[in-house]
Each structure stands twice: as C-alpha cells, then as structure tokens.
Amino acid sequence: MDSGANMIRVHVFISGRVQGVGFRNFTRSKAEELDIAGWVKNLEDGRVEAVFAGKANKVKEILKSIRKGPTFAKVDDIESKQEEYVGEFSDFQIVF
C-alpha cells in the first residue's frame, strides 16, 4: 500500500441478516480483489464491524459491494465513519 493522498480509512457497522450467511468471507474476498487492507468481524449484537483502508475509489467500491452483500444476506443499514488513514494494515483479515 502506498501512502498517497488518495488513501482513506473507513470504519463501518453493518446491520441486518449479516451473520451466518458468509458475509465475512464475502467481504474478505472483495477486499483482497480490490487491494484493500483492514479487517472484518462479527459482533455479539448481530452486526458486522469492518475497517477498510486503501485507495479512495476502491474503498467506495467495496462499500457498494457490502451494501448488497452475499446471496443470503440482507443489509438493513451501514453506519460508516471516515477516519484518519495511518497505513497500519498490510492485508485484510477476518478477526474473532
């Protein structure tokens, strides 16, 4: 990852039917495809939390992808907050 001015970091909380439907694997696949770093995890309250860091256009693209999600998911809402890009991730992981 380069540290150009077009790099952004977005922290998201996804709610709906997003656990038990392959959402984390779907998100990791998309992130790897788009060369986005960060992580995704399930939360105890049924939501999924993720941080995406990478080129602005690629992060916007993954945000569109997760709004739809994998086949059996139903995304009701995405809360997202742009944060300072610090380049702390080298890849994208599912965390537990």
Residues annotated as part of the active site: 24, 42
Ramachandran assignment for 58, one of left (phi > 0), alpha (psi -120 to 50 degrees), beta (any other): alpha
Ramachandran assignment for 86, one of left (phi > 0), alpha (psi -120 to 50 degrees), beta (any other): alpha
Q: How far apart are CA 83 and CA 1, in angstroms?
A: 17
